[in-house]
Amino acid sequence: MIDQTKVSFQHDGSPYSNRFNDIYFDISQGTQQSECVFINGNNITARLAKGPKTFVIAETGFGTGLNFLLTLNILKKIWQKSATDQSNPAISTHLHFISVEKYPLSKAQLAQSLKLFPQFSELSQALISQYPEQPDQDIDLTFFQGAVTLSLIFKDATQGLTSLLSHQNQPHSALVDAWFLDGFAPAKNPDMWQPALFQQITRLSKEQATLATFTVSGQVRRQLVAAGFRVEKRPAFGKKNEMLHAIFQHNPHSGKGYQQRPMIAKPQHVSIIGGGIAAACAAYALTKAGVKVSVYCQDFSVAQGASSNHIGALYPLIHQQTDDISLFYQQAFNYACQYYKNIKAQGFDFDHDWCGLLEISYKPALTKRQQQFANTSVWPKDLVHSVNKVQASQLANIALDDGGLFFPNAGWLAPGQLVKQIFNAAQATHRLKIETGCHIDKISQQANGKWRLHSATKDYTASVVVYCGGAQGIPLNIIKQMPLSSVRGQVSNLASNEKMAKLSTVICHKGYVTPANNNLHCIGATFQKDSFDITSKAEDDKFNLDMLNKCLPGISSWQLTDIVSSKARLRCMTPDHLPVVGAMPDIQAHKTQYAHLSKDKHWRYHESTPVIDNLYLLTGLGARGLCSAPLLAEILSADICGTPYPLNNEQLFNLAPNRFIIRDIIRRKFDSSGTTKAAD
């Protein structure tokens, strides 16, 4: 028999643990603390609203069942909304809520405690009616005709979790989607917060499992990191004004050690090489995270490279099916849109218009592609949808001969202004220093692990270095090991006229044309591989204008004399058309450590990725830096600060600098000594 006598009730009716000298919940805050920490901390509402087939929540410390009732109430509301929404299929998620409690309340104590939450009276009664009078045996309760299972395990937390068989009875097969790490604080209940508990959490967690807890103790934080979680502090509600949020992103049993990103102690200072959109977003992300940043820009002002164009289009690269590239750019685009709106909301303004973007179906192959988009529901309509030529003409506010694909949330912005304003936002943290006119032509690591950044006029010392430059930095000694290439592009700026002034959305064909900004339209752009020449050329202006007239005949009356200016800049490209972000790999160590992948690409490796310490890359953004840079910067910040990543492990590896060498090993491009094989 479990002793329930060490629970008393205070004058406000709330339960109090005499065993641990602590309250079960703060009645003055109602349910808000629990909602903030456990529901919002695990993003429960949004995740359940997606309608997963099954969803498993595990909790340490059932207590009064408040967290369970909050979750149950959310699911009830989602089902009710789903039942009335004829446009979407009904949600039929099975929720399994597992809670471990060493000192459970009696049925009477539970009933008395839940009287404080009359808003849950119906759900509370469903719980109380099944709850045992004096709980001492593990029990499963069901709700909503079996759609919800509550498993109550009346044991010590570690013992209770150990009793759970992970999915399909496999020792490392995951079970749990979200953790409510509740229970009394480590100072009051140290027996629960032992390393063995976190070993069980590791064993039972699915990849990307989330975790939230009231406690922010260093002990708990360190044990979560050791268990494979990326951890961050967040503001909380009420008297406990901080909480921990964590995501399981370093699974020690994955067998793919080469996909595990290295963990470092959060540095006090980071040095960034670059001065464009990548450097600006990286500087802002790191300064927000409390890191001091020095930026070394080769030009005498920031935003002079590819980020200096008069107008740039913001839109994602989307294919017909949900491949890796499209999924990344969908998430990057959504993130970038909100990011730039937040920059503006802080008072850092820049010319822009979220006017949408049309990809015109100017040839039969594109018309067929458009029809395939129209016939499927792969992508949400608010991302991209098909329009006919009448609709396209209305959206563009000029007559068009063809329909196309419309991206309603896309648009244009002034890249140079934007980059400067993001740097201004970073400087507002008082953690940013920018040095211009610093052409770094070599970097070298010293015996003490520090870096030297060499320029013609001065050398700089750095503890952590991030290369955020574009194609002009490809020859840099360490960076040139990466398979990056330069593609030259020239953009032409034309004076607006009465006809083109009406253009109200960005139009893409084989090139693009933008609405006017300060009476100038941008058209472009050329695409010349392996060129580092940034001299503007008259023949490229002619190419841009001819391409516009060929793909969209009659759209404009522009002549070469209407070209006011032009600019040639370099795109930094990768072989797979995805950008690069993460630690610089030790190429030779990869060849040695992961050699067996050439014989069996499924060979399990637990050894973590060998990297060059404290050297990071954020580059290879290609033609869509405006779309990808904000999300990439958050990944970089997570790399350096140890916080949760915004993408899952597979998506992260698709962006990792070491993905190229791993693929080359699998494709057997090296001989037994690690030397590249001669081409046949």
Q: Say what the pLDDT of residue 608 is.
A: 84
pLDDT band at 2 (very low <50, low <70, confident <90, very high): low
Share the mean pLDDT of the chain. 92
pLDDT band at 168 (very low <50, low <70, confident <90, very high): very low
Q: Say what the pLDDT of residue 410 is.
A: 98
Measured distance CA(28)–CA(239) in Å, rounded: 10
Task: Convert the pLDDT of each residue in 302-331 to its tens digit.
Answer: 999 888 899 999 999 999 999 999 999 999
Q: Give the residues across from 659 on adjacent strands.
A: none
Measured distance CA(471)–CA(621) in Å, rounded: 10
Task: Convert the pLDDT of each residue in 572-631 to its tens digit.
Answer: 999 999 999 999 999 999 999 999 999 999 999 988 899 999 999 999 999 999 999 999
Q: Say what the pLDDT of residue 246 is.
A: 97
DSSP 635-651: HHHHHHH-PPPSS-HHH
Flag the least confident range among 3-17, 45-59, 267-281, 290-304: 3-17
Cα radius of gyration (the chain): 29
Is beta strand 485-495 parallel, antiparallel or unpaired with respect to 520-524? antiparallel
Q: How much is the pTM?
A: 0.91
Length of the chain as a residue count: 680
Task: Convert the pLDDT of each residue in 213-234 to its tens digit.
Answer: 999 999 999 999 999 999 999 9
Task: Convert the pLDDT of each residue in 65-102 to its tens digit.
Answer: 999 999 999 999 998 888 776 556 566 889 999 999 99
Q: What share of the chain is helix, strand, coil (3-state, %, to 5)?
A: 35, 25, 40
Measured distance CA(191)–CA(194) in Å, rounded: 6
| Side-chain half-sphere CA neighbours of 57 within 13 A | 32
**Can you list the domains of the chain with their CATH numbers?**
30-253 (3.40.50.150), 269-304+417-481+576-666 (3.50.50.60), 352-412+484-570 (3.30.9.10)
pLDDT (average), residues 464-472: 95
Task: Convert the pLDDT of each residue in 268-280 to its tens digit.
Answer: 999 999 999 999 9
Task: Convert the pLDDT of each residue in 336-387 to its tens digit.
Answer: 999 999 999 999 999 999 999 999 999 999 999 999 999 998 999 999 999 9
Q: Is 165 helix (H, G, I), strand (E, B) or coil?
A: coil
The residue ranking higher by pLDDT, 110 or 3, is 110
Measured distance CA(276)–CA(626) in Å, rounded: 10
Contact 465, 639 (CB under 8 A): no
Displacement of CA 654 from its chain's centroid (Å): 13
Q: What percent of the chain has pLDDT over 70?
A: 95
Provide the 8-state DSSP code for 553: T
Measured distance CA(544)–CA(539) in Å, rounded: 9
Contact 41, 231 (CB under 8 A): no
Measured distance CA(290)–CA(310) in Å, rounded: 32
Contact 191, 27 (CB under 8 A): no
